[in-house]
Amino acid sequence: MYETTSVHPLKDGSAVRIREATPKDLVDIWRIFRSVTEEKKWIPVLFVDDGEFERLSWFSHHKSVGSVILVAEIEKKVVGHCLVERDEWDAAAHVGNLGIMVNVEHRGRGVGSAMIKEAIIRAREKGFEKICLSTFNTNLSAIRLYKKHNFQIIGVRRRQFKMEEEYKDEVLMELILDN
Ligand SMILES: CC(C)(COP(=O)(O)OP(=O)(O)OC[C@H]1O[C@@H](n2cnc3c(N)ncnc32)[C@H](O)[C@@H]1OP(=O)(O)O)[C@@H](O)C(=O)NCCC(=O)NCCS
């Protein structure tokens, strides 16, 4: 068994705790999801389904399929979350699809980096052999973060999304989890 909480140093000398999410975190996870959606810049979501039923169904689905759901806490406040979602195709159950978000006021401190590092460790422990993700071509901090953790760009789907009447290319990245 791995430790359920790990502590990572941040750039300013403070620390972030990364741990597995519990149902009690769902309100915070949704709060961050809603606020990132409202920024209308980073994720291809225009409307967030909210409500206790939606939140609990999402959580129990991911627990039952063995996804990794992490939260980042600073001074006991949830400031970010990261999901490595087990791929839904039977023959791709060894693949995880990663999503990550950090509250706007805590970005650039190293929280994202700590969550990715921990997500990779825990994904390996859960038997994932590969992690895939995609991001907008305009999301330079995300691309930098993923490259720093050895994700490689493997393709681009041009004009895949349209946000606020502006096209976004979708940059596809992957990390093979060799031992
Ligand atoms: C992407 C995201 C999760 C990163 O989290 P974070 O806590 O800010 O990440 P970190 O602080 O660990 O790292 C960010 C990196 O981007 C760099 N960065 C910041 N702004 C940048 C810019 N405009 N251009 C290039 N790099 C930039 C930082 O310098 C840092 O790199 P470094 O550690 O090598 O200096 C966060 O920005 C976020 O939640 N964004 C909104 C949601 C989102 O985009 N999710 C990902 C969708 S695919």
Minimum CA distance residue for ligand 1 atom 18: 141
> What is the mean predicted confidence (pLDDT) over 21-31?
97
> What is the mean predicted confidence (pLDDT) over 45-54?
93
E strands present in the chain: 5-9, 15-20, 68-74, 77-86, 95-102, 130-136, 152-163, 166-176
- Dihedral sign for Cα atoms in the order 47, 32, 119, 26: negative
pLDDT of amino acid 89: 96
Instruction: Read off the tokens for 155.
Output: 């393709």
pLDDT of amino acid 1: 43
Give yes or no for a contact between 62 and 83, defined as CB atoms under 8 angstroms apart.
Answer: yes
What totals of helices (H) and strands (E) does the chain contain, helices first?
4, 8
CATH number reported for the structural domain that contains residue 44 in this entry = 3.40.630.30
- Segments forming the whole domain that contains residue 52: 5-176
Question: Phi and psi of 148, rounded to 5°?
Answer: -60, -30
Domain count, the chain: 1
Give yes or no for a contact between 132 and 86, defined as CB atoms under 8 angstroms apart.
Answer: no
Minimum CA distance residue for ligand 1 atom 29: 108
pLDDT of amino acid 162: 95
Residues lining ligand 1, CB < 6 A? 36, 42-43, 100-102, 107-113, 135, 139-142, 144-145, 148
Rounded to the nearest angstrom, the distance between the alpha carbon of 73 and the centre of ligand 1 is: 17
pTM for the predicted model, two decimal places: 0.96
- Compute the distance between CA of residue 131 and CA of residue 47 in angstroms, rounded to an integer: 26
- Compute the distance between CA of residue 6 and CA of residue 100 in angstroms, rounded to an integer: 17
Look over the chain and give the mean of its residue pLDDT values, rounded to a whole number.
96
